Amino acid sequence: MSKALRVPDYLAHILNAMERIDRYTADMDEAGFLDNELVQDAVIRNIEVIGEASNNILRADAAFAAQHDDLPWQVMYTMRNRLSHGYDKVDLEIVWRTIQDDLPRLHSRFIEMGTTLPGSVPEETGPGQS
């Protein structure tokens, strides 16, 4: 598969994971999140997807990632690794802050970027846009 086809697929995976996180936490405050293991597990799984897809973009098309160096590709992958490999030491307050502070901005940026690519992902409602 060519790079032009792969990057849009990975962007779609990232957007889908962000939108799932938004749906899972839409009517929740931090206390509710910290008290709900099912939602925690679902959110962590989708953050892992975001990180893995980010790393796939870095590997599949480093030039594309460099053109979009305002996005924290490596940070997303590092968070994925910390959640996956440090599963017994997850700081859920950091996860919550990521949901509230980082994902809405990143979602907007990924939508903007994705809609300019051949085979781009469709614009959808996402974090902070319900």
Q: How is residue 57 written in tokens? A: 């973009």
Please report the DSSP string for 26-55 in residue order: TT--HHHHHT-HHHHHHHHHHHHHHHHHHH
Of 67, 64, 83, 86, nearest in space to 75 by CA: 83
- Considering all CA atoms of the chain, what is the largest pairwise distance in Å, rounded to the nearest integer? 45
Among the options 13, 45, 80, 107, which is catalytic?
80
Q: Verify whether residue 80 is a known catalytic residue.
A: yes
Q: Verify whether residue 13 is a known catalytic residue.
A: no
Among the options 13, 85, 107, 109, which is catalytic?
85
Q: Are 127 and 19 in contact (CB under 8 A)?
A: yes
* d(C-alpha 59, C-alpha 53), whole Å: 10
Q: Which residues are catalytic?
A: 80, 85
